[in-house]
Structure 1
């Protein structure tokens, strides 16, 4: 085995690398299993610490829940909160037991001792006494007891103890992790050092082996070099070695003997080969010249073919010129060239700079055209090459320009071509050939000109037709639709091209879309077949994709007094049709709804005027007259509201209000009008406040609930559900009445729309109520939807942006700066002081300025920008309030601050345009300003709800 290794260099290298690899592999396995054991130990300890951390967190949450429920019980005396305290107490017992099992340090046992002491104090002493005082109604004694016991201090100290223990556990987790990371890093460094040592060993062994190989290989290279140079070679070393080097040395020695023996024979053969080579070279030169001539002819034919293709494969003028100049330059072997059309100066060039192009376009009329018009033949110019053309050549060089005219079929010159060769002349034969190629270009230009004129006329006609608002069709005498515009596809909701198809096939595409499908087919086919028709137009209704009414009329199309087809025009008259229907519906509805109460008023008034009645009957008749007058007033108010909403003149006085009392008022009013309906309010949220106009909200709720009563003629329950959904406050109003047909739902909120049904027609109504509700909710950034099934009742869902209210419970620790800073700019010192005191009492920080310039300067320099700005318009200095507002709106940092105008000048519209939040006209109560600022802050969610009890740690956002 050792002898075999000595004879093989490969085995020597493999053996050395195998030993080192086994050492590295064994070390890697040892490090790997050591690392796994270390990771397992860390994970077990870390899980143990996490369990303690989780138990501490649950304990803190359980005690906080107990504190919260206890404070709630003290505030509201609800027995359910005591039950929750008992549940949390059981939870606390379980957590303390878990902590006791996991305790393994003095800090753990100290913490358990503190928790047990506080547990006994809180649940066995403090809570029972507080409960006794509350049950006996002794709130003053409860307050004294809490003060004597310093309950708040002890609770806060215990919360601090919980926080401290939690921090201790976190610190222990962090320290354990750092220790693990440090040990892991040390292990990696040991592994890196071991691998480095192994690499150094491999490097040393490799170097030793290469030293043993380098000298014999270098000797063999020297021998090979001498052999290749024909020099004599001495003794070859290393012949006695047993490895590959020895084999190679012996082979070199044998090869040297053979080379020396055959040298003379090879010299003779070489001389003979040289003679044969000279003969072959002469033949090769002849073949190369013949091949070059053939390739040149093929190249010319190929370029001519490319030129013809460029002329025949395009109808674009610019593309034609670019293709022709490129292929022509290749064909005639020109270095650069240019072609210019004389009518519009379109051009194409190759190898010509921008300055050269502009110069040629500028001087073409003065130079070449005169000679070309006289001779009508191409000509050649010979000149000295410019510096740019010669490039890096410095010796004298000539350039040759050929100018070729292009004539149309009318013998009019239409274009000029110029091609330049540098250092190479044009021949007379080439001149004749180029003239023929120019004729090819002339034919292509004439063809493109005819095509462009035809295409321009076609595009103009199509653009005119496409701009029409009506759908247009051109049908030939064979019944094929030759052309149709875009509007036709839009009107009928048909995708794809509507041209080049038979009229009957097009009518088939409309199957199921047209209400009067058979009549439309008969009308159009009668026109095509020249049958006698009674009317020159036809009205049809589209069902899908959207309902619309179309008026179709036609005109015959003649050319040279011969009819070549018919033009059909489809006109959308949907709006006109709906307006006519709405007018009829409106007149009918208004006349009926107004006459009914007027008839009652006139009838009972006439009875009261002409007959003597008993007091009871007089009272009954007067009540009826009063009710009908109110009904008549409500109808007129609905008409006026719709008119104001449509004109944009409807105003809303929005404030933060609770919808529950408004709904209750509506229900109380509705109960007067019915004794067969029940009303039920389901409040599923504690937050039922929105930003809105109370009167308009009352009107909206009243319309919807009144509809629920009116369209439930057999009675039933009207259920109003109030709940939260995401960021909205939802109010669902559900009845058990007639329901709404599916096809009527999309039109339900349109003005004057009423379901066409006999059961509903006899109920009455103007069809304005739900449209007014829709507009009111839109003004409140809300919406209304409906879900209904016939004879199964309806559910109307009203959506409003939800607002969660703000409550303050002030004590000595209340931080007034929670409401932010308000800047007042008022030159009247008395009024400014009054407003300042009002805002300070409300809880704002206030900065007061008499100078607008000084206020702007300070606000731009403030680190924290103010929460609101109050500005008087008429200031005594040169800058007025409008200028201050404009300056603030231009500042990126201050432009979003709410601005409140306090002025004797009433210019509310200008204030709205500038984006002010509120406009208060003097005189006004100071409290109105503070309420307006608070309402704006609430609307913008500038601060959250303050919960009981109030201190720095109890202010949280709701």
Structure 2
């Protein structure tokens, strides 16, 4: 028999003892002329000893919490030592993991946010005390239940299904005096489990509501006196007896008044969009015709790029509020025209694909640095404040675009390279794309009824 070269000293000793026993058995068997019998007896005794040692080890493994390891020499002693080391190491790591879990529970209990661990089917696996208090969860009753069966808000269910928007979703809980809760889903690529982070944003929402009400009321109250001032300035500008020295100041005051009126109108429009007021009736819109109309308006401006083009890649129509869609594209086109030099060009494009309908406004203007792009849709945010004021911009156009798109379940993406131009693209969901044939058939049915 060939023994492995890596055998330990204990293994060699056991093999040596077995060889000696076999040798003695053969010698005695030869003397007694019973080689087979003596060899069988010796090997049987050896086997009984090994089985006895194995049973002692099995009993120790079964009751190792209360019994000490058996004192056995040879290879079985080595096996017991290895098992004992593995067991001690496992207890050490178990104690570490248990300590970490206890620390994690203490930390999650002290968190100002709620945390809910969800399984692959959005079933609740675990939650901390903050989430339990806000959502009235009970461990014995709600663990294993799908979270959408407990938080029954359409926006929340849609967010769980598609994961959009990335920053989460805010829902209103009427219990406990009314509470706004923000839900954000944290996913990892290698696990089917998901962590749902819950935050109480009631204070932020109330402050935002107060701010919106203040802006709306202040804008409304400023409109009347501004209209009076504008009327007097118009009268002064048309007065032939006015001292010529006052001509330039009056024109400048008229220009600033018009700019203030534009800002107030934009603020009122934005407030109505944010509050959900004045929900227009949605109808199929001929986007190709709308872009052609806006192109003609842009080409009639005194200050404009060399070319304003339209690229129509689809005959489909779009379901939406026409005044709001017009406002969206008009604001994007106005910005493109303002920041594109006279030798540049602007392109309006409409196309559809499997993901929905898309309207883009591409220009060859000054472009926007990457650090400014995430903040472009904020109110009054300007990349170049001096240039924007010089051109008469209010800083509200893209904020209006953002909120109008949200009312149409649409999103805005911005691509820009400084010195080469920008592309603003509106992405509308597939269910808002309407076939031209379907619109024409519907119109024909209405005429038939009339």
TM-score, normalised via structure 1 length: 0.25
Tell me which structure has the larger Cα radius of gyration.
1
Task: Tell me which of the two structures has the higher relative contact order, counting C-alpha pairs closer than 8 angstroms and 6 or more residues apart.
Answer: 2
TM-score, normalised via structure 2 length: 0.48
